[in-house]
């Protein structure tokens, strides 16, 4: 065997250096996680409202629906109208995702969404008032998952 080169020894780094490298690694992991989460996106404001509204309709929860509607629309909402929506959405299972889609509608403040449920999808069209309250709500017939 050859002798170690002069001036080189097995030197253990001080404990503080190891702590610093662990801390730096942890910070890098946190930053990467935050960047990935930001890039992954999430529901925008209108998607969140559509999600809450669709969930309330599915649950046949008149009070929750009326909270999300403007005062005029809320006054016109009946248990019968809400029940038809609940009957349509109920068999589809839990909402998995609400994704806003481009609209060709030129009416102001109209947003369209594809709502994915466990057992199907529904295309919805919501019109919002200036306070982001639901003014009008329409949906296409549910498409069951095949």
* pTM for this prediction: 0.70
Please determine, looking at this structure, whether the domain spanning 45-144 carries the CATH number 3.10.450.590. Answer: yes
All structural domains of the chain with their residue ranges: 45-144
Angle between helices 79-89 and 45-58 (to 10 degrees): 100
- Please give the mean pLDDT across all residues of the chain: 88
| H or E stretch at 48 | helix 45-58
For residues 73-108, one letter each, b for 16 or more C-beta atoms within 10 angstroms of the residue's C-beta and e for the rest, the string is: bbeebeeeebeebbebbeebeebeebebeeeeeeee
Nearest by Cα to 112 from 101, 128, 98: 101
Per-residue pLDDT of 7-23, as tens digits, reads 667 777 677 877 888 88
Per-residue pLDDT of 36-78, as tens digits, reads 665 656 779 999 999 999 999 999 999 999 999 999 999 999 9
d(CA 55, CA 71): 20
Alpha carbons within 13 A on the beta-carbon side of 63: 0
Residue 49's CB is within 10 A of a number of other CB atoms, namely 20
Paired residues of 123 in beta bridges: 114
Alpha carbons within 13 A on the beta-carbon side of 46: 20
């Amino acid at each position: 065997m050859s002798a170690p080169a002069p001036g080189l020894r097995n030197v253990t780094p001080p404990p503080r250096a190891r702590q610093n490298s662990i801390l730096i690694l942890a910070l890098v992991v946190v930053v990467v996680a935050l960047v990935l989460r930001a890039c992954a996106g999430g529901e925008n404001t209108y998607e969140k409202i559509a999600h809450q509204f669709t969930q309330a309709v599915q649950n046949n929860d008149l009070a929750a629906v009326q909270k999300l509607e403007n005062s005029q629309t809320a006054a016109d909402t009946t248990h019968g109208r809400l029940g038809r929506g609940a009957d349509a959405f109920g068999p589809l299972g839990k909402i998995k995702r609400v994704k806003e889609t481009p609209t060709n509608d030129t009416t102001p403040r109209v947003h369209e969404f594809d709502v994915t449920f466990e057992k199907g999808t529904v295309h919805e069209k919501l019109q919002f008032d200036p306070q982001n309250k639901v003014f009008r709500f329409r949906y296409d017939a549910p498409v069951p998952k095949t």
